[in-house]
Structures are given as structure tokens and as C-alpha cells.
């Protein structure tokens, strides 16, 4: 896992897979829900991301099945992926905690210089 911050779509894909294996459409649906609709992935974008994350060892293929004549590919989080997700979640939580602490120190509205 690189030491740089993770992009939000990557974070959300990993989070979508955190509770078990899913096929592509389920990941797309989960990402949309987890982001309250802010992030919507197209299939081509998702599969490119899953290929990249697989090459990085963060996810892995977890089977295939044919449903209604269409092939469903399943993916799951690896231990490295779970560790990367936990690290990024902690980083985001720390940043959010710092922002909230700073906001508490902010002078009340109208109390500053004009």
C-alpha cells in the first residue's frame, strides 16, 4: 500500500468489500450507498479499479457464476486490503477529529473584527 492517501472511490470499493465477497454490480450499488450518492462508478471504471487493486494485492477474484445468462465475477478483500482500509479509515478519522477540535475553538459568529 502506498504511503499516500487513498482516493475516495478506492476507499469506497474496499469498504464495499469489507463485509464479504461481491460481484461488480453489488460493489457499484454499495459504493453509491456508502457515499450517499456522491460517487457512482460505471462498470468499466469499476473493473479497471478492481484490476488495479488486484495487482496491488488489496482485492482478489473470488469466483464466477452465470446468472440469467450473464457471467458474474466476484471479488473479495485480502488481508492487505483490510489493513489498507483500516489505515485509511484511521487517517480520515484523525483528520476529522482535528477539524472538529479546531472548529470548537472558532470564535462565535459576529465576534470577529469587521
Q: How far apart are CA 91 and CA 69, in angstroms?
A: 43
Grid cell, residue 12, equals 469506497
Query: Is a pLDDT exceeding 50 seen at residue 2?
Result: no
| Average pLDDT of the segment spanning 14-21 | 98
* Domains parsed from the chain with CATH numbers: 8-102 (1.10.10.10)
Going by their DSSP bridges, the two strands 22-23 and 70-77 should be labelled as antiparallel
Q: Which of 31, 28, 25 shows the shortest CA–CA distance to 12?
A: 31
pLDDT of the residue at 3: 53
pLDDT of the residue at 109: 77
pLDDT of the residue at 5: 81
pTM of the model: 0.86
pLDDT of the residue at 1: 43
27-38 pLDDT per residue, tens: 999 999 999 999
Query: Is a pLDDT exceeding 60 seen at residue 114?
Result: no
Amino acid at each position: 500500500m502506498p504511503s499516500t492517501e487513498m482516493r475516495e472511490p478506492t476507499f469506497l470499493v474496499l469498504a464495499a468489500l469489507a463485509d464479504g465477497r461481491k460481484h461488480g454490480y453489488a460493489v457499484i450499488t454499495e459504493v453509491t450507498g456508502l457515499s450517499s450518492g456522491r460517487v457512482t462508478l460505471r462498470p468499466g471504471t469499476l473493473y479497471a479499479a478492481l484490476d488495479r487493486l488486484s495487482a496491488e494485492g488489496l482485492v482478489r477474484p473470488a469466483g464466477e457464476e452465470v446468472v440469467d445468462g450473464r457471467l458474474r465475477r466476484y471479488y473479495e478483500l485480502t488481508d492487505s486490503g483490510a489493513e489498507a482500509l483500516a489505515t485509511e479509515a484511521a487517517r480520515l478519522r484523525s483528520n476529522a477529529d482535528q477539524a472538529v477540535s479546531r472548529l470548537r475553538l472558532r470564535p462565535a459568529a459576529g465576534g470577529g473584527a469587521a
